[in-house]
């Protein structure tokens, strides 16, 4: 019976990973390999638990078992605590997995009155014409003031502090926020 309890608790409790014990290697599968406290995990993936707020902190580490199920190994509190080499590897992986360009400048923004919003904007991935459908759900400011945009293809963009943009861009955006 005790055995049951123990396994239960492992599933139940938050396991914060010791950053000094983590050793990732990048694979050509698009995933990572991990050695942690003597265990080897293959096909490991990193997931931001709060992708809107914490970009470097609270990163869930999970691996795919033989039955193709994702099993969480634990959570990294802050990847900045890792060694430089390991940190860069994780940061690069996260950047690869989360492709969310930043909108830096808004040229024009138009509501077609049929549920679509068309934004012509400069982003960190170049100039884009972003078409947002159902835009009052896919173009939103969250509680911390960050504007997140998901276009009709599923591409994501964000503006962390809209009010800090240049005045012209902000004035255009503000009407739709």
Partner 1 sequence: MNLKTPLPKGIPECIFSLPFDIAENGEKTAGFLTADREQIHIYDSDGRELNNFSLDSFSAFEATRQIGCSMLRGKRKNDDKWQFFCSFTQTHYIRYAELAKILDYYANTGVFVDHSDEEEPVCPKCGLSLDGSSTCPYCAKKGSTVKRLMKRLAPFKKPFIISILLTAFSYACDLVAPTLQRYLIDDVVQVQDPDMELFLIIAGTILCLALIGTAIDFITRRININITNGFIRDLRRDLFDKTQELSMRSISRRTAGEIIRRVSEDSRTIQQFVTDNGKEMILHTISLVALVIIMFVSNWKLALLVILPLPIAAWLASKVMRILDDRNSRWWRKTVASSRYLHDMLSGIRVVKSYGSEERETARYTEISKEVSKAQKNIDCIWYILSPLLRYVIAIGEFLMLYFGASAVMDIEITLGEFVQFTTYVSMLYGPLEWLTNLPRVLSQAMVAAGKAFEILDERIELKDAEIPADKPIEGNITFEHVSFGYTAYNPVLKDISLEIKQGEMIGIVGHSGVGKSTMINLIMRLYDPTSGSIKIDGTDLRDMTSKGLHDQMGVVLQETFLFNGTVLENIAYSKPNATFEEIIQAAKTADCHDFITRLPDGYNTYVGEKGYNLSGGERQRVAIARAILRDPKILILDEATASLDTQTEKQIQTALNRLIKGRTTIAIAHRLSTLSNADRLIVLDKGKLVEMGSHTELMKKHGVYYQLVMAQRTTAAIKKQTVTA
| Neighbour tally for 72: CB within 10 Å | 13
Asked if residue 74 binds partner 1 (CB under 8 A), the reply is: no
Q: How far is the CB of 46 from partner 1 (least distance, A)?
A: 11
Tokens representing 106? 């808004």
Residue 164: phi and psi, rounded to 5, are -95, 5
Q: What is the C-alpha separation between 159 and 165, in angstroms, rounded? A: 9
Asked if residue 160 binds partner 1 (CB under 8 A), the reply is: no
Asked if residue 51 binds partner 1 (CB under 8 A), the reply is: yes
- Nearest-Å Rg of the Cα atoms of the chain is 20
**Distance between start and end Cα atoms, the chain:** 55
CA distances from residue 142 to 46, 103, 161 in whole angstroms, order as listed: 23, 16, 11
Asked if residue 104 binds partner 1 (CB under 8 A), the reply is: no
Asked if residue 145 binds partner 1 (CB under 8 A), the reply is: no
Q: By CB under 8 A, name the one of 23, 43, 74, 75 that touches partner 1.
A: 43
Judged by beta carbon, residue 19 or residue 94, the one nearer partner 1 is 94
Asked if residue 118 binds partner 1 (CB under 8 A), the reply is: yes
Asked if residue 12 binds partner 1 (CB under 8 A), the reply is: no
Nearest to 87 by CA among 160, 14, 20, 16: 20
Asked if residue 42 binds partner 1 (CB under 8 A), the reply is: yes
Size of the site for partner 1 (CB under 8 A): 44
Asked if residue 125 binds partner 1 (CB under 8 A), the reply is: yes
Q: Residues 6 or more apart from 168 whose CB is under 8 A from it?
A: 106
Q: How far is the CB of 117 from partner 1 (least distance, A)?
A: 10
Torsion angle, alpha carbons of 93, 74, 59, 144, to 10:
160
Q: By CB under 8 A, name the one of 131, 146, 160, 170 that touches partner 1.
A: 131
Give contact residues for partner 1 (rule: CB under 8 A). Answer: 1, 4, 27-31, 42-43, 51, 68-69, 92, 94-101, 111-116, 118, 124-126, 131, 133-134, 136-137, 151-156, 175-176
């Amino acid at each position: 019976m005790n055995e049951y309890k123990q396994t239960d608790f492992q599933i139940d409790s938050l396991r914060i990973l010791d950053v000094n014990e983590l050793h990732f290697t990048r694979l050509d599968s698009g995933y990572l390999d991990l050695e942690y406290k003597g265990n080897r995990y293959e096909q490991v993936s990193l997931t931001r638990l709060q992708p809107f707020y914490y970009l470097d902190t609270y990163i869930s580490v999970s691996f795919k078992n033989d039955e193709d199920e994702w099993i969480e190994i634990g959570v990294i509190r802050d990847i900045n605590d890792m060694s430089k080499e390991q940190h860069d590897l994780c940061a690069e992986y996260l950047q690869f997995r989360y492709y969310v360009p930043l909108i830096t400048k808004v040229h024009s923004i138009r509501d077609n009155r049929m549920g679509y919003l068309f934004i012509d904007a400069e982003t960190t991935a170049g100039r884009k014409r972003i078409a947002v459908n159902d835009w009052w759900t896919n173009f939103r400011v969250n509680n911390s003031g960050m504007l997140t945009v998901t276009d009709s293809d599923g591409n994501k963009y964000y503006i962390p502090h809209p009010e800090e943009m240049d005045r012209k861009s902000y004035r255009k955006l503000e009407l739709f926020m």
